[in-house]
């Protein structure tokens, strides 16, 4: 037994291997203390250092964090990044500008009232910009462990709706502010058990709650009624002129609890008063998102990189050629065939392409964003203003806002 500065280390030989036990003055390592593959309470011994060990796993982790953590490691977001993607033969260049509201998490949704005023939300909180995304103002702090601000909508320059939930728990909250986020009132208290999507258009308000009861309102949220189906994960209201009876609304469902998660789409032509289920093939993978540019033309993104398109209001669908096999998690397209598709790029150990663009309705695709960028959602007020939000993948991620220019 040897003693070094009051710390006692005893090395015993037992069945041909060494085990280390430390004095109570040393705190035992546990799995939460970054115990990299060793048995609980054991630390590898470096014989050349006479009992002292080199913290190689900790060093490797630190280097990895510095490489992939863009906030501090590379200084990646110390300023603002801009880029342009175009091949020699391309007549449709794509430019982008990157912004970061300052949070460390993952943004889930974005909404702009005009070119200057916009909001974003996610696991790091809620932020507002008044200068087109150059600077951001915190409006609600980080919600807490497991909590997430999933969706937000603006129904006025100072009126915001915000959907909050807890991952893995049957709890959700709908918040409403009419004073630019200075105060918030809870809507539907005690009724929401999940948070998957929120849409507001005209007098219509709709909250989708996955396998639990979803709700809709036709009087700007004063009174609510349950939707007649379960499994709703995304809703799409086309941007064209409303018909006389109301808005056209599409709701994408992922089946219901206990059933195979195949895509189901319900369509309403009267702002949700009545619904009709559209037929689909049974062998499609699990759905992720849906977007309609007009009442007749839309896209649907599924897992395995499956991208479907319709030009007749969902009566028939075709599979578009797409160069990726990762899940499609965000879509935007217009009636002229221009569009963006974001795939899941959240695993920092296998970073790849993040966003693809098309200018011919999905016949050909161009990679416009890659590397440590993951996009969860798009918002657009026209082809010259498309914004994406997400995060920079890494052990400690950072919020990400990207403005695309065509």
Closest of 166, 161, 102 to residue 136, by C-alpha: 102
Q: Is 354 a residue whose pLDDT tops 70? A: yes
Q: Is residue 72 part of a domain?
A: no
Are 132 and 113 in contact by the 8 Å Cβ rule? The answer is no
Q: Which residue has the higher pLDDT, 166 or 50?
A: 166
Residues 97, 230 share a domain: yes
Tokens describing residue 73: 């490691």
Residues 146, 45 share a domain: no
The parent domain of residue 19 ranges over 2-54
What ranges make up the beta strands (E) of 136-208?
137-140, 147-156, 159-166, 172-177, 185-187, 197-201, 204-208
Taking CA atoms, 29 is separated from 1, 49, 207, in Å, by 22, 20, 45
Residues 203, 101 share a domain: yes
Q: What is the CATH number of the domain that holds 152?
A: 2.130.10.10
Q: Quick check: helix, strand or coil at residue 327?
A: coil
Cα–Cα distance for residue pair 317/342, rounded to 1 Å: 20
Are 172 and 195 in contact by the 8 Å Cβ rule? The answer is yes
**pLDDT band at 331; cut points 50, 70, 90:** very high
pLDDT in tens, 273-314: 999 999 777 789 999 999 999 999 999 999 999 999 999 999
Q: Is 20 a residue whose pLDDT tops 50? A: no
Q: Is residue 47 part of a domain?
A: yes
- Of 43-52, 57-66, 70-79, 386-395, the one with minimum mean pLDDT is 70-79
- Of 21-25, 186-190, 358-362, the one with minimum mean pLDDT is 21-25
Residues 156, 304 share a domain: yes
Q: Residue 294 — φ and ψ, nearest 5°?
A: -135, 180
Q: Is residue 68 part of a domain?
A: no
Q: Is residue 210 part of a domain?
A: yes
Q: Is residue 66 part of a domain?
A: no
- Of 143-157, 219-233, 255-269, 272-286, the one with minimum mean pLDDT is 255-269
Residues 172, 29 share a domain: no
Are 356 and 322 in contact by the 8 Å Cβ rule? The answer is yes
Cα–Cα distance for residue pair 97/99, rounded to 1 Å: 7
**pLDDT band at 246; cut points 50, 70, 90:** confident
Which own/partner pairs from 135-142 qualify as long-range (CB within 8 Å, at least 24 positions apart)?
A: 136/99, 136/101, 136/102, 138/101, 138/102, 139/181, 140/181, 140/184, 142/103, 142/105
Q: Is residue 63 part of a domain?
A: no
Q: What is the pLDDT of residue 184?
A: 96
Q: Is residue 306 part of a domain?
A: yes
Mean pLDDT score of the chain, rounded to an integer? Answer: 79
Residues 94, 33 share a domain: no
Q: Is 222 a residue whose pLDDT tops 70? A: yes
Residues 136, 19 share a domain: no
- The residue length of the chain stands at 406
Q: Which residue has the higher pLDDT, 111 or 30?
A: 111
Quote the distance between the C-alpha of residue 44 and its chain's center: 40
Residues 205, 118 share a domain: yes
pLDDT in tens, 23-38: 333 333 233 333 323 3
Q: What is the pLDDT of residue 66?
A: 42
Q: What is the pLDDT of residue 61?
A: 53
Q: Is 75 a residue whose pLDDT tops 50? A: no
Q: What is the pLDDT of residue 245?
A: 76
**pLDDT band at 105; cut points 50, 70, 90:** confident
User: Up-side HSE of residue 405: CA atoms within 13 Å toward CB?
Assistant: 8
Tokens describing residue 179: 């004073």
- Of 9-18, 278-287, 392-401, the one with minimum mean pLDDT is 9-18
Q: Is residue 74 part of a domain?
A: no
Q: Count how many domains the chain has.
A: 2
Residues 86, 8 share a domain: no
Cα–Cα distance for residue pair 316/322, rounded to 1 Å: 19
């Amino acid at each position: 037994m040897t003693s070094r500065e009051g710390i006692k280390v005893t090395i015993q030989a037992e069945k041909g291997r060494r085990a280390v036990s430390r004095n109570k003055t040393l705190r035992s390592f546990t799995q939460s203390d970054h115990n990299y593959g060793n048995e609980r309470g054991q630390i590898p011994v470096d014989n050349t250092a006479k009992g002292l060990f080199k913290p190689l796993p900790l060093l490797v982790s630190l280097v990895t964090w510095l490489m992939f953590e863009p906030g501090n490691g590379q200084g990646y977001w110390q300023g603002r990044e801009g880029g342009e993607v175009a091949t020699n033969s391309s007549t449709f260049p794509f430019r982008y500008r990157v912004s970061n509201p300052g949070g460390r998490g993952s943004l889930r949704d974005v909404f702009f009232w005009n070119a200057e005023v916009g909001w974003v939300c996610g696991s790091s909180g809620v932020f507002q910009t008044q200068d087109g995304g150059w600077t951001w103002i915190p409006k609600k702090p980080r919600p807490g462990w497991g909590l997430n601000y999933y969706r937000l909508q603006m129904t006025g320059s100072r009126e915001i709706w915000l959907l909050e939930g807890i991952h893995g728990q049957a709890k959700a909250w709908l918040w409403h502010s009419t004073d630019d986020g200075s105060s918030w009132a809870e809507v539907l208290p005690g009724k929401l058990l999940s948070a998957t999507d929120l849409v507001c258009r005209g007098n219509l308000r709709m909250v989708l709650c996955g396998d639990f009861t979803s709700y809709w309102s036709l009087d700007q949220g004063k009174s609510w009624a349950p939707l007649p189906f379960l499994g709703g994960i995304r809703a799409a209201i086309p941007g064209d002129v409303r018909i006389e009876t109301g808005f056209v609304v599409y709701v994408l469902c992922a089946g219901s609890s206990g059933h195979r998660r195949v895509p189901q789409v319900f369509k309403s032509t009267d702002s949700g008063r009545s619904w009709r289920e559209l037929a689909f093939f049974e062998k499609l993978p699990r759905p992720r998102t849906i977007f309609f540019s007009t009442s007749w033309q839309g896209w649907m993104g599924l897992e395995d990189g499956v991208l479907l398109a319709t030009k007749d209001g969902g009566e028939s669908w075709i599979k578009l050629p797409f160069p990726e096999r990762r899940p499609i998690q965000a879509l935007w397209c217009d009636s002229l065939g221009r569009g963006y598709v974001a795939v899941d790029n959240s695993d920092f150990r296998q970073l790849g392409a993040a966003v693809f663009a098309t200018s011919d309705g999905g016949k050909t695709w161009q990679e416009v964003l890659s590397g440590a960028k993951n996009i969860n959602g798009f918002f657009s007020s026209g082809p010259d203003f498309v914004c994406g939000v997400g995060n920079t993948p890494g052990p400690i991620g950072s919020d990400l806002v990207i403005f695309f220019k065509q």
